[in-house]
Amino acid sequence: MLSYRHGFHAGNHADVLKHLVLSEALRYLVAKPAPLRYIDTHAGPGGCALGGGFSARTGEFLGGIGRLWAAADLPEPLRRYRELVGGFNAGAALERYPGSPLVASALLRAEDRGFLFELHPADATELDAALGSDRRFRVSRADGLAALRGLVPPPGRRALVLVDPPYERDEEYDAVVEAVDDARRRFPGGCYAVWYPVLAKDAARFLPERILSLGDGTRTRIELRVAPEPADGWGMFGSGLAVLNPPWGLKAVLEECLPYLAGALGNDGAGRASFSWDGD
Ligand SMILES: C[S@@+](CC[C@H](N)C(=O)[O-])C[C@H]1O[C@@H](n2cnc3c(N)ncnc32)[C@H](O)[C@@H]1O
């Protein structure tokens, strides 16, 4: 059953962190001449209108991209990220937010290729409308975790894999670990970025370490908490990414941007950001 719709959450604090990391990692990877393969196992609908529909019903974007939109003091990487989002908005008003496939579309070159997977019929249709005619991309209404094994290693042996499930079911945590483990065995040099929610339950708590333990190269765990852990143990109070083989330049980006994000996106001064960087 697929009840999750990313439109409710588009542009929230978790999207800001994820898309900052994704866009900066892609910028470093495409700075080298060899072609890059981008694999988005859980692509979502592409972009979302913020003024109506799902996102207007939650207003989550107001606590995410909404807090950065007019900020005068953004660190340079966050300014680049905001400019990328601005490229999907016609004027000065924040009306649309790009999902991970559109973030990638803004950065990939003609020689790069993107493989996008989305299972929800309505979101897959929207994604196809957004990027189905872009010759760099292949949009599939298929299980991205199952498809991953057939896409690595890529011919040029350079790839960024974004794994961004909804975690609607507890089994998804194990499925993510198994899929990344399998892909990494086939292609140890790939960059694997796994998004995770910060939740009180053990399956979520242990996921980042389980992912990082799969790698023996450079590894980073990046986390942004926007509220204290809820006393009743219910609800997401932050998010993170566990990344195997991040591009080296990402470290300086994290040092520069995470303190700013904790201040800007934390609620009532409760923002906390951290990252670990191991293996080099
Ligand atoms: C968190 S959203 C993706 C957001 C998107 N990556 C972004 O950053 O804009 C997760 C998406 O995965 C889809 N989905 C769930 N299970 C899937 C699977 N096994 N394969 C492909 N898509 C899946 C859901 O329908 C949902 O749209």
Atom of ligand 1 at shortest range from CA of 102: 9
Atom of ligand 1 at shortest range from CA of 162: 6
Strand partners, 239: 197, 224
Tally of CA atoms within 13 A in the half-sphere of 147 that contains its CB: 20
The answer to whether the CB of 20 falls within 8 A of the CB of 182 is: no
Give 54's pLDDT tier (boundaries 50, 70, 90). confident
Q: How do residues 188-213 score in pLDDT, each as one tens digit?
A: 999 999 999 999 999 999 999 999 99
**pLDDT number for residue 51:** 82
CA distance readout (Å), 57 to 62, 219, 227 = 12, 37, 21
User: Is the Cβ atom of 126 under 6 angstroms away from ligand 1?
Assistant: no
Catalytic residues: 164
Give 27's pLDDT tier (boundaries 50, 70, 90). very high
Atom of ligand 1 at shortest range from CA of 44: 27
**pLDDT number for residue 1:** 65
**pLDDT number for residue 75:** 98
Ligand 1 centroid–CA 242 distance in Å is 17
- Residue 68 pLDDT > 90: yes
Bond preceding residue 230 cis, omega within 30 of 0: no
Residue 140 and residue 5: Cα distance in Å, rounded? 17
Strand partners, 140: 117
Q: How do residues 124-140 score in pLDDT, each as one tens digit?
A: 999 999 999 999 999 99
User: Is the Cβ atom of 43 under 6 angstroms away from ligand 1?
Assistant: yes
User: What six digits make up the tokens of 89?
Assistant: 């908005």
The residue contributing the CA closest to ligand 1 atom 12 is 42
Q: How do residues 3-20 score in pLDDT, each as one tens digit?
A: 889 888 999 999 999 999
**pLDDT number for residue 7:** 87
- Residue 115 pLDDT > 70: yes
**pLDDT number for residue 55:** 83
User: What six digits make up the tokens of 123?
Assistant: 């979101």
- The Cα angle at residue 4 between residues 137 and 190, in degrees rounded to 5: 40
In this prediction, residues 51-76 reach a mean pLDDT of 92
User: Is the Cβ atom of 54 under 6 angstroms away from ligand 1?
Assistant: no
In this prediction, residues 45-74 reach a mean pLDDT of 92
Give 280's pLDDT tier (boundaries 50, 70, 90). confident
Tally of CA atoms within 13 A in the half-sphere of 121 that contains its CB: 1
Using the CB atoms, write b or e for 10-36: b if 16+ within 10 Å. Answer: bbbbbbbbbbbbbbbbbbbbbeeeebb
Residue 55 and residue 103: Cα distance in Å, rounded? 18
User: Is the Cβ atom of 9 under 6 angstroms away from ligand 1?
Assistant: no
Q: Is the dihedral of CA 266, 106, 150, 141 positive or negative?
A: positive
User: Is the Cβ atom of 134 under 6 angstroms away from ligand 1?
Assistant: no
Atom of ligand 1 at shortest range from CA of 98: 9
Give 52's pLDDT tier (boundaries 50, 70, 90). confident
Give a three-class secondary structure readout of the chain: CCCCCHHHCCCCHHHHHHHHHHHHHHHHHHCCCCCCEEEECCCCCCEEECCCHHHHHHCHHHHCHHHHCCCCCCCHHHHHHHHHHHCCCCCCCCCEEECHHHHHHHHCCCCCEEEEECCCHHHHHHHHHHHCCCCCEEEECCCHHHHHCCCCCCCCCCEEEEECCCCCCCHHHHHHHHHHHHHHHHCCCCEEEEEEEECCCHHHHHHHHHHHCCCCCCEEEEEEECCCCCCCCCCCCEEEEEEECCCCCHHHHHHHHHHHHHHHHCCCCCCEEEEEEECC
Question: Which of 2, 3, 6, 176 most suits a substitution to test ligand 1, by most atoms within 8 Å of the C-beta?
Answer: 6
The residue contributing the CA closest to ligand 1 atom 6 is 43
Ligand 1 centroid–CA 42 distance in Å is 3
The answer to whether the CB of 220 falls within 8 A of the CB of 191 is: no
Ligand 1 centroid–CA 166 distance in Å is 6
Ligand 1 centroid–CA 165 distance in Å is 5
Query: What domains, with CATH codes, occur in the chain?
Result: 6-278 (3.40.50.150)
Whether the model clears a pTM of 0.95, i.e. scores above it, the answer is yes
Ligand 1 centroid–CA 250 distance in Å is 24
